[in-house]
């Protein structure tokens, strides 16, 4: 099954920001495009807005004047649903209400031809449930674009329970012909991106709720150590706290209130107070004119230790040993079967976070996971009230000698980056095991849909296939609510790896 022929008209119903974006994508690809909105004159206003955006593309040299004029000639507002009768594809981008969408598609089914492909751009509702209102749901599919649709490459092509393979394939190939990067997924709450991305927000909020760090510090650690484009607090302020919380709540409810997707009480209070982010001027941050952006916690300058003793290897942080030597600090290596750590001159220990807490041990400082320890510009350290001041000072000075800003946070298991990445890896394994998508499509979706520096399976391969399960096991022991319990899929993955290694 191939993509729709460019001569085939495409209709977009709903002319808000997303609807206009989808229409622009189809139009620039070469299709005749019909715009329909139930509100009088809105389709014409949307057509004018799309025309203005095409003008800007010409000004920027991204579109020729001839191509713009041809695209404008192919764009036509529709006064009635009956005007969509000749369309080969109708994409809906209306209000996120099941009853509204079902009513629309029942009406469309009576207008378009039997072989017209019907698609919803829903981000939170069940594709199966929307298509359940149709007499012929086999031609119904989800086409979930990301905002802004003309710029972001990802499209989730969602097959409902009754979607025909031919319909899903045609939708997939059409999205690809439009210059997008489609990924195929089953109809599951949140699809790929909104399902697997929940821990990115949830774990940041959990660290904040535990009073271990403030939003500016958590965001800085996620960016400068984790390699994420934006931190969770600044990103949700951009998205809108109400929008982000609504998606979280929808996924949580759709999974029958699964504790792994539990919404944040702190975010709920923010929404209740009307602080929705940039669009209201205040969210986690103050975005009003003249407001100062809070700075992340950064430790004062400390003296680095003269040497460190490396016991065992540091696993994902093994590159630090070479960096420490390059900084002129002596590294004494000792074989050690009891774990991996750096012993500081004062006798304290510096350990890569593993899901345990500093208070459980004598004089231990944990350091957080980094995407790339050489490129990271900030490292988070955590210690308990019982950790010696000298140990904290030596650990701080060590990382500062490596050119890093240091943020001291509270004694929370898994810290910030590690617990976030471990949970993302776990949800990804769980999704693939349940047939939601392939590993490759999950990685593609998370890189392109939310700009993650690595896909979950790329993270897993880099960190070692047992790393996430080990971290989550430790977290689960300290919070047995089930939130951090590794999925059966991750257990199987890790155990099978250990078994093969043990047999070799």
Cβ(187)–Cβ(171) below 8 Å: no
Residue of 179, 296, 263 whose CA lies nearest to 272: 263
To the query of whether residue 246 is one of the catalytic residues in this protein, the response is: no
Cβ(383)–Cβ(406) below 8 Å: no
Give the H or E element holding residue 381: strand 378-382
Confidence check: pLDDT of 195 > 70: yes
Query: What pLDDT does residue 1 have?
Result: 67
Query: What pLDDT does residue 334 have?
Result: 84
Confidence check: pLDDT of 449 > 80: yes
Query: What pLDDT does residue 120 have?
Result: 98
To the query of whether residue 234 is one of the catalytic residues in this protein, the response is: no
What confidence tens digit (pLDDT) does each residue in 129-166 have? 999 999 999 999 999 999 999 999 999 999 999 999 99
Confidence of residue 338 (pLDDT cuts 50, 70, 90): low
What confidence tens digit (pLDDT) does each residue in 104-128 have? 999 999 999 999 999 999 998 999 9
Locus of tokens 């989730």: 156
Q: Considering only residues 1 and 379, tell me which one the structure prediction assigns the higher pLDDT.
A: 379
Locus of tokens 């392939």: 438
Confidence check: pLDDT of 499 > 90: no
Q: Beta strands 154-159 and 140-145: pairing type?
A: antiparallel
Residue of 425, 442, 497 whose CA lies nearest to 199: 425
Which of 194, 244, 393, 407 is flagged as catalytic?
A: 194
Confidence check: pLDDT of 20 > 90: yes
To the query of whether residue 273 is one of the catalytic residues in this protein, the response is: no
Provide the CA 256 distance to its chain's centre, in angstroms. Answer: 22
What confidence tens digit (pLDDT) does each residue in 205-245 have? 999 999 999 999 999 999 999 999 999 999 999 999 999 99
To the query of whether residue 194 is one of the catalytic residues in this protein, the response is: yes
Residues of the chain with pLDDT > 90, as a percent, come to 95
Residues of the chain with pLDDT > 70, as a percent, come to 97
Query: What pLDDT does residue 339 have?
Result: 67
pTM: 0.95
Strand partners, 76: 34
Which of 121, 123, 244, 264 is flagged as catalytic?
A: 123
Confidence check: pLDDT of 337 > 90: no
Rounded mean pLDDT of 478-491?
A: 97
Q: Across the chain, what does the average pLDDT equal?
A: 95
Query: What pLDDT does residue 335 have?
Result: 75
Confidence check: pLDDT of 502 > 70: no
Query: What pLDDT does residue 504 have?
Result: 41
Which of 31, 92, 144, 287 is flagged as catalytic?
A: 144
Which of 156, 224, 234, 394 is flagged as catalytic?
A: 156
Q: Considering just the CA atoms, what is the radius of gyration of the chain in Å?
A: 26
Query: What pLDDT does residue 452 have?
Result: 97
Q: How far apart are CA 430 and CA 424, in angstroms?
A: 10
Strand partners, 331: 308
């Amino acid at each position: 099954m191939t993509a729709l022929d460019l001569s085939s008209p495409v209709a977009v119903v709903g002319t808000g920001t997303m609807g206009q974006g989808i229409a622009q994508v189809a139009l620039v690809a070469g299709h005749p495009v019909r715009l329909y909105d139930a509100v009088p004159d809105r389709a014409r206003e949307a057509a004018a807005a799309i025309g203005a955006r095409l003008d800007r593309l010409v000004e920027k040299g991204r579109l020729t004047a001839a191509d713009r004029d041809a695209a404008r000639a192919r764009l036509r507002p529709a006064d009635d649903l009956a005007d969509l009768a000749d369309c080969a594809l109708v994409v809906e981008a209306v209000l996120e209400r099941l009853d509204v969408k079902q009513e629309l598609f029942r009406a469309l089914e009576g207008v378009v031809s039997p072989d017209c492909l019907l698609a919803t751009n829903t981000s939170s509702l069940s594709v199966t449930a929307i298509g359940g209102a149709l007499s012929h749901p086999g031609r119904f599919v989800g086409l979930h674009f990301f905002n802004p649709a003309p710029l972001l490459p990802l499209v989730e092509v969602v097959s409902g329970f009754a979607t025909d393979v031919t319909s899903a394939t045609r939708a997939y190939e059409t999205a690809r012909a439009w210059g997008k990067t489609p990924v195929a997924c089953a109809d599951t709450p949140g699809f790929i991106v909104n399902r697997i991305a929940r821990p990115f927000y949830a774990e940041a909020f959990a660290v904040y709720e535990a009073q271990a760090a403030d939003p500016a510090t958590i965001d800085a650690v996620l960016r400068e150590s984790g390699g994420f484009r934006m931190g969770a607090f600044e990103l949700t302020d951009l998205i809108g706290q109400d929008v982000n919380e609504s998606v979280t709540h929808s996924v949580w409810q759709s999974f029958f209130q699964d504790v792994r997707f539990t919404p944040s009480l702190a975010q709920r209070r923010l929404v209740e107070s009307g602080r929705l982010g940039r669009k209201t001027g205040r969210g986690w941050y103050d975005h009003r004119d003249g407001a100062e952006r809070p700075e992340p916690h950064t430790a004062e300058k400390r003296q680095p230790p003269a040497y460190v003793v490396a016991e065992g290897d540091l696993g994902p942080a093994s590159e630090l040993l070479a960096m420490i030597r390059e900084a002129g600090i002596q590294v004494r290596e000792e074989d050690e079967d009891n774990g991996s750590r750096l012993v500081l001159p004062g006798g304290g220990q510096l350990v890569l976070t593993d899901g345990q807490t500093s208070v459980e041990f004598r004089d231990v400082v944990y350091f957080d996971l980094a995407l790339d320890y050489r490129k990271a510009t900030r490292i988070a350290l955590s210690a308990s009230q019982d950790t010696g001041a000298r140990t904290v000072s030596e650990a701080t000075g060590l990382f500062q000698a490596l050119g890093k800003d240091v943020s001291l946070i509270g004694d929370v298991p898994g810290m910030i980056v590690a617990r976030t990445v471990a949970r993302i890896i776990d949800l990804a394994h769980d999704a693939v095991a349940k047939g939601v998508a392939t590993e490759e499509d999950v990685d593609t979706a998370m890189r392109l849909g939310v700009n993650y520096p690595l896909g979950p399976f790329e993270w897993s391969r880099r960190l070692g296939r047992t790393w996430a399960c080990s971290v989550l096991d430790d977290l689960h022991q300290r919070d047995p609510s089930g939130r951090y319990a590794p999925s059966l899929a991750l257990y199987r993955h890790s155990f099978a790896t250990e078994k093969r290694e043990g047999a070799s």
